[in-house]
Structure 1
């Protein structure tokens, strides 16, 4: 892989905004929002909010977010949602431009589009569940919570499948891609299992256990979002078309 005469690395324009900023900002804002909610609830003496069920002593994220910290919850959810979508769109765009390892088949591109659509759906769900809080709009809140979880899981599955097929092309030339693929696969499996457990606990009114699982899900989402920083970081110093000449492990035709 070397610069061509038309697009030498030395002539690449200086970039003041890079795509990897979005997963970084999103993950920092999201974990900051969660910590702000949790620390405030603890500092207030772990109060029992109006939205909490009888016998429940551990607050859900949404219980705290439905009280006077609702503006923080809405703001944090909105910024995180936008950054999540832009992270996936950025990966699609940079692969198309050859600034990170490009897709080599239509199947990979389809999985990429599915992951973006899932992210958009999940992000809309996250914003709306923060607006329609669990205290005033319980049914709507739970509906949008399901939309958020479903959208993120579909997005994660699309990303894992895209990276799996892409990694088969490049596993000899990009160890980073292999690590990223396995990281996202582990996230998908764990989040899927926890989402099922959360649904069962919520249905059976095991609210304290359900609240703990919800907090774990929220924290894990931070790590998933941050993993895209690892994928997009090479584009900070690459130029258009730089990765299009990378030697493939197999012929492209074997991946359609």
Structure 2
């Protein structure tokens, strides 16, 4: 099968995700920033799911499904080309990507109005799935060793993006949950944080682009290349 370069899938996935978010936010602004049924008193900034449950639900669903499909294709292609020693973290990361992607698709289908509780559960599955996926990918690079990463700048870049994604998302999610369940006046802050969390998710997708670049794959696509890199690193140590 003739496939495009590996970096194409995550690039299109990131573009699709950003375009969907901007289209939803832009549409809400252009129609006069209406208040939706589930918005609480004093809240004038909608959650993503508030907009996604209205007339833009088809766009929300298509955007989420397309993003998930492209991410899964990107990860599958990455696994096929990855030949160095530890595959456990990579396969585990792929598994949790599927779990998180399933949560993302379901939360777009089961909207916040008709399936409020189920929607919230799917949001949790989505967030946890991709956070664990990113953590396993970062752990994989730790397994390779910091010394190896320093000799391969693109690997270090990917590692830094994933760790930053985990730290930033966890911090935002904690504040989001705190503000979501406090006084009604805090729901504007909670809604804003949810939008920020969604935009930051783009960082995880972009890190997959870095993983797929030829410079990231150099010397790491087969066990011999990995062993040669390991030997060069060992010889350079005192």
TM class by shorter chain equals: 0.7 to 0.9
The match for 2:212 among 232, 237, 252 is 232
Instruction: Give me the whole-angstrom Cα distance separating, in 1, the residues matched to 2:216 and 2:98.
Output: 25
Distance 1:51 1:172, change over 3 A: closer
Q: Give TM-score, length-normalised by structure 1.
A: 0.82
**Which residue number corresponds to residue 214 of structure 1?**
194
Aligned residues: 230
Instruction: Give me the whole-angstrom Cα distance separating, in 1, the residues matched to 2:117 and 2:88.
Output: 34
3-state SS in 2 of match to 1:249: helix
Which fold has the larger relative contact order, with Cα–Cα distance below 8 Å and residues 6 or more apart in sequence? 1
1:79, distance to aligned residue in structure 2 (A): 0.6
Task: Flag structure 1 segments of 5+ consecutive residues without an equivalent.
Answer: 1-12, 97-101
For residues 154-206 of structure 1, the C-alpha deviation after alignment (integer angstroms, 9 at most, x for no partner) is 11111111122224362353111112111111111111111122122222253
Instruction: Give me the whole-angstrom Cα distance separating, in 2, the residues matched to 1:37 and 1:185.
Output: 28
Q: Point out the more displaced range, 178-187 or 27-36.
A: 178-187
Are the counterparts in 2 of residues 125 and 148 from structure 1 also a CA contact under 8 Å?
Answer: yes
**Which residue number corresponds to residue 146 of structure 1?**
124
Task: Flag structure 2 segments of 5+ consecutive residues without an equivalent.
Answer: 234-238
**Which residue number corresponds to residue 169 of structure 2?**
191
Are the counterparts in 1 of residues 219 and 229 from structure 2 also a CA contact under 8 Å?
Answer: no
Give the root-mean-square deviation of aligned CA atoms. Answer: 2.6
Which structure has more helix as a fraction of its residues? 2
Which aligned pairs between 1:157-196 and structure 2 lie closer than 5 A?
A: 157-168=135-146, 170-196=148-174
For residues 20-46 of structure 1, the C-alpha deviation after alignment (integer angstroms, 9 at most, x for no partner) is 111011100000000000000011111
**Which residue number corresponds to residue 236 of structure 2?**
none
Pairing 1:129–2:107 present: yes
